[in-house]
Structure 1
Amino acid sequence: MSTVKGLRERLRNGENVVCAEGYMWELERRGFVCSGDFTPEVVLDYPERVRALHEEFVLAGTDVVEAFTYYAHEAKLESIGRESDFADLNLNSLRMAREIADRYGKLMAGNICNSTSFDPGDPENVARTKNMFKIQIEWAVQGKADYIIAETFNELAEAKLALQAIQEYGSGLPAVVTMAPYSKDVTLDNVHLPEALRQLEVAGADVVGLNCARGPETMMPLLQEARKLCKGPLAALPACFRTNQKEMCYYQLTDPKDGKPLFPANLCCVQSSREDIRKFAEQARQLGVAYIGLCCGATPSLLREVVQAYGRSPELSRFSPNTSRNYYMKSNLSARELRIRNLLFGDISGQV
């Protein structure tokens, strides 16, 4: 265990916790993850890239270094023929996250996620899924995780199974359980999402909430409903894409130019702006969301917006946008500089 203040203590003291997620999509954007497979073999093949992203998110203000074990379970690794790397991938990821967390005085979280193959009607499948969780949880305990994140579930039964596994095999570590809200406001097993979160809270999760699938605009209404039902700490980690009432989750987003589907490889044209993220974070803080972060589409500069909206000044704040010193956007331009600026931008005199 680390000596930094634990998750439960922070939440009991009324402190907010910022958690950077979204490693998969950011590493894909950088060219080190296969779009479509979305498997984390980068941990073994290019570990320095993962380590660098951990550090970038730390400098942007995350309180948590999450081990990159999302989709590092047997079901997904089998699909790419790397099931023999199951143990090495998980243990190396946990070791790397622990190292960075200790270096910067952060919490380290182990991670389990949706299995992609869960079938609640098949007892053998349920037992196999629980055992898969068990193995990763025990490795997280071995890797000295401070708590366990169970994320991106679209079925309440699987989320409950993950929570049960953490309670049974997690040596008393806190559990943060988040569900992914897709196009409907119900889980795959037809439970209203705010009610599903309430049930997870009653079952003993330390933090419950929503992550991924929806962008800021379409996640916030569900969070507002969940806040009315859930009494304890609420989590909010949206995907960083401009979902809307017609296209509720980012899987549905289409190109504004030609209407073509954008998932999975062309979502960059509808990524959330910094202002989108800051607005969401301000609303979340006002709502009393104590566990805040970003999921797919997250970048260090976007996370910095969240951290600053929660009243902090992380290391990377010194690189926040500052147009007052920009050559063509400063206020005291010469006549020649003004002509050049107008050629570049049009007349933006009223905006500077």
Structure 2
Amino acid sequence: MVKRSLKQRLEDGTVIVAEGYLFEMERRGYLQAGTFVPEVALENPEVLKAVYRDFMLAGSDVVIAFTYNAHREKMRIIGKEDMLEPLNRAAIRLAKEVAAEHPTEEALVAGNISNTNIFDPENEESKEQVRRMFAEMIGWCREEGVDYIAGETFYYHEEALIALEEIKKAGLQAAITMGLMGENVLRDGYEVEESCRILEENGALVTGMNCFRGPKTMQPYLEKIRSSVNGYIGALPIPYRTNEEHPTFFNLPDGGCSCTLPTETTFPTALDPLYHNRYEIAEWAKEAKSSGVRYIGLCCGASPAMIRSITEAVGYEAVNSKYSPDMRKHFLFGEDETLQQHNKDYRGKA
């Protein structure tokens, strides 16, 4: 089958997009929490390929090159700027290798740029520094032949606009998603729906939100975005139970924790008890789709099982849907007539 572009896939229906490599790599033991730099692309490439593959086979139409935080500022902080270009190119090449393995239609490969953490709306030099950082990463993406650029987790509108400008200069399509913190507006004062409208008007193929917020505290803003823009909406929340009092995972408490945590909050390494289960994620995916979201996935904390639940919830079948739960043969909870009746009778006491 001829590989369709992102635009073609969006025209045809829902596009599933798995992010969350950062937390998944830390969970597997191949990335340091805190610095959160994806050195795994060079140090353990087979591990990165396995994660790419797991999410793709769970239903993701896109393999996003794991270059989140692989920008010059982060590499400077850890003293490894000499690794910057090799890391970016390696992450893209590994993504392309895995994308080509898809058994029915080759997956899309997205380059990835993100918040730089040095953008200052009052400092023109910082803006030029950010622009240079984006330009070099996007240049490597273009040379390596990505299908589009995913620009994500921007909490300043103007930084996102700079990213979009550089993507357009490179002649690539852009999916730009914003990270909305607890103030409920972007840090330079823009409402998120206003930001998305401007980004769409300036040529972004997809606009929307990712990270920071779980489904419950992201969905109301997705509906505002839908009423403000005409194009494709993207939504990639975190799979944690954020709420009105704690709309992001940065300050999400765990009232049942009995130990002293190394940081003031559960973020980033003690969020485990605060997960949504895959069925809650599936219900949100249905809601997001019905509200007009076409580019759907999860961000930090995502697992392949969760991505598969989204894939199936929106009406698709993943390659690995053959491993989706089927309790009919379970010794306690199954209904197969050949199962032992005394076990089935015992299920409520187990």
TM-score between the two structures when normalised by the length of structure 1? 0.93
Q: Deviations over 1:7-64 (max 9, x none)?
A: 12223x3422111111001111111111111110111111111100111111101111
Partner of 2:56: helix, strand, or coil? helix
Distance in 2 (CA, whole Å) between partners of 1:108 and 1:258 is 40
Pairs aligned (count): 340
- Residue of structure 1 in register with 2:297 after alignment: 293
1:9 aligns with 2:13: no
- 1:114 is matched by which residue type in structure 2? N
Partner of 1:278: helix, strand, or coil? helix
- Residue of structure 2 in register with 1:278 after alignment: 282
Identity of aligned residues (%): 38
Distance in 2 (CA, whole Å) between partners of 1:159 and 1:338 is 56
- 1:226 is matched by which residue type in structure 2? I
- Residue of structure 2 in register with 1:341 after alignment: 347
Structure 1, unaligned runs of 5 or more: 345-352
- Give the direction of change, closer, same or farther, for the CA distance of 1:338–1:98 in structure 2 (3 Å limit): closer
- Residue of structure 2 in register with 1:310 after alignment: 314
- Residue of structure 2 in register with 1:176 after alignment: 175
- 1:8 is matched by which residue type in structure 2? K
Indicate conservation of the 8 Å contact 1:40/1:70, yes or no: yes
- Residue of structure 1 in register with 2:252 after alignment: 253
Indicate conservation of the 8 Å contact 1:155/1:188, yes or no: yes
Distance in 1 (CA, whole Å) between partners of 2:9 and 2:150 is 16
- 2:156 is matched by which residue type in structure 1? E
CA deviation after TM superposition for structure 1 residue 342, in Å = 3.9
Partner of 2:347: helix, strand, or coil? helix
Which residues in structure 2 correspond to 1:154-233 (within 5 Å)? Answer: 154-168=155-169, 170=170, 172-233=171-232
- Residue of structure 2 in register with 1:350 after alignment: none
CA deviation after TM superposition for structure 1 residue 340, in Å = 4.7
- Residue of structure 1 in register with 2:261 after alignment: none
1:110 aligns with 2:111: yes
- Give the direction of change, closer, same or farther, for the CA distance of 1:335–1:317 in structure 2 (3 Å limit): closer
- Residue of structure 2 in register with 1:135 after alignment: 136
Q: Moved runs in structure 1, 4+ residues, more than 3 A? A: 331-336, 338-343
Distance in 1 (CA, whole Å) between partners of 2:114 and 2:303 is 21
Which residues in structure 2 correspond to 1:142-157 (within 5 Å)? Answer: 142-157=143-158
1:71 aligns with 2:69: yes
Q: Deviations over 1:284-340 (max 9, x none)?
A: 111111111111111100000111111111121111111111111123564542465
Distance in 1 (CA, whole Å) between partners of 2:74 and 2:32 is 13
Distance in 2 (CA, whole Å) between partners of 1:336 and 1:220 is 45
Distance in 2 (CA, whole Å) between partners of 1:208 and 1:121 is 25
- Give the direction of change, closer, same or farther, for the CA distance of 1:336–1:14 in structure 2 (3 Å limit): closer
- 1:31 is matched by which residue type in structure 2? G
Indicate conservation of the 8 Å contact 1:185/1:222, yes or no: no
CA deviation after TM superposition for structure 1 residue 167, in Å = 1.1
Name whichever of 75-84 and 334-343 sits farther off: 334-343
- 1:118 is matched by which residue type in structure 2? F
Indicate conservation of the 8 Å contact 2:334/2:344, yes or no: no
- Give the direction of change, closer, same or farther, for the CA distance of 1:109–1:335 in structure 2 (3 Å limit): closer
Partner of 2:139: helix, strand, or coil? helix
Structure 2, unaligned runs of 5 or more: 259-263
Distance in 2 (CA, whole Å) between partners of 1:307 and 1:14 is 15
